[in-house]
């Protein structure tokens, strides 16, 4: 098992990519604490982990609250005695609007959820990692940080900030054997898109994601399992000498989709 006897916190692990990572980590021997505001779904994910023989803990946490983040970290340390892995996965997008119509409240909310939350969890987790001179921190950025697919300036700005945050922290913690890396997902079929297609039928969703996949070089959207595999690599000793890196898990993006074949020669 790649994560035998390790302890991880995964923020936003109740569903989508975070849930996929939680299940994968648990399969590899890791005790997984899911920190999520959606406590019902978090408890369901932990129940699934335990049903398969794993060890998990669900904690209701507003990841933008320093008090709740600090309490969450304390609960994990009290239960397991350490934190080896931190996955800053929590995040969400708001309906995109032109910048002149974007409210200050919406800007602050999206930046807090997608960037401030990473800062808060690292603030409280890093001291525990420093004591043991070991740690793996994985921050979820987005392809939108480097190639915005739409004018979602608050979200794309936050995810670009995650990259700067990752590079700075990786430099500071490298001498202490704490690796800090970022994952940049491309389009992944999860409830992340519900703000746009939540009211669609399943057939309409199939059509939407099929069309979205055509914009990807590999001609499909990603799955939570795709992200879980990459996160497992960065959380394990397979990546012991890797820090400060940005890993695209995006089906080939930001490469362009395949070019159409040339027309047949004319006679």
What residues are annotated to the active site? 155
Place of tokens 């979602």: 152
Two tokens, residue 211: 């069309």
| Alpha-carbon distance values, 15 to 38, 117, 200, 211 (Å) | 9, 17, 19, 23
Burial of 60 (0-12, 13-18, 19+ CB in 10 A): middle
Q: Identify the CA nearest to 3 among candidates 264, 231, 262.
A: 231
SS3 (DSSP) at 247:
strand
Closest CA to 228 of 1, 4, 28: 28
Using CB atoms within 10 Å of the CB of residue 68, give its burial: 0 to 12 exposed, 13 to 18 middle, 19+ buried.
Answer: middle
Q: Are 87 and 231 in contact (CB under 8 A)?
A: yes
Q: Which helix (H) or strand (E) holds 162?
A: helix 153-173
C-alpha–C-alpha distance, residues 164 and 145, integer Å: 11
């Amino acid at each position: 098992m790649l994560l035998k006897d390790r302890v991880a916190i995964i923020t936003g692990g109740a569903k989508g990519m975070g849930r996929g990572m939680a299940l994968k980590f648990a399969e590899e021997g890791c005790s997984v604490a899911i920190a999520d505001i959606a406590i019902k779904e978090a408890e369901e994910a932990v129940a699934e982990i335990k049903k398969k023989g794993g060890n998990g803990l669900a904690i209701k946490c507003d990841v933008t609250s320093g008090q709740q983040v600090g309490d969450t970290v304390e609960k994990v340390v009290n239960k397991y005695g350490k934190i080896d892995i931190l996955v800053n996965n929590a995040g969400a997008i708001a309906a995109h609007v032109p910048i002149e119509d974007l409210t200050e409240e919406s800007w602050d909310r999206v930046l807090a959820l997608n960037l401030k939350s990473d800062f808060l969890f690292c603030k409280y987790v890093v001291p525990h990692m420093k004591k043991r001179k070991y740690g793996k921190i994985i921050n979820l950025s987005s392809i939108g940080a480097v190639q915005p697919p739409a004018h979602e300036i608050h979200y794309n700005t936050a995810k670009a900030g995650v990259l700067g945050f990752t590079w700075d922290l990786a430099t500071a913690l490298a001498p202490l054997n704490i690796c800090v890396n970022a994952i940049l997902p491309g389009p992944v079929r999860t409830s992340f898109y519900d703000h746009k297609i939540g009211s669609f039928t399943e057939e309409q969703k199939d059509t939407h994601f099929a069309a979205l996949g055509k914009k990807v070089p590999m001609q499909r959207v990603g799955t939570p399992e795709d992200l879980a595999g990459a996160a497992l690599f960065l959380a394990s000793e397979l990546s012991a000498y890797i820090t400060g890196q940005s890993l695209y898990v995006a089906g080939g993006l930001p490469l362009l989709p395949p070019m159409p074949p040339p027309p047949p020669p004319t006679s």
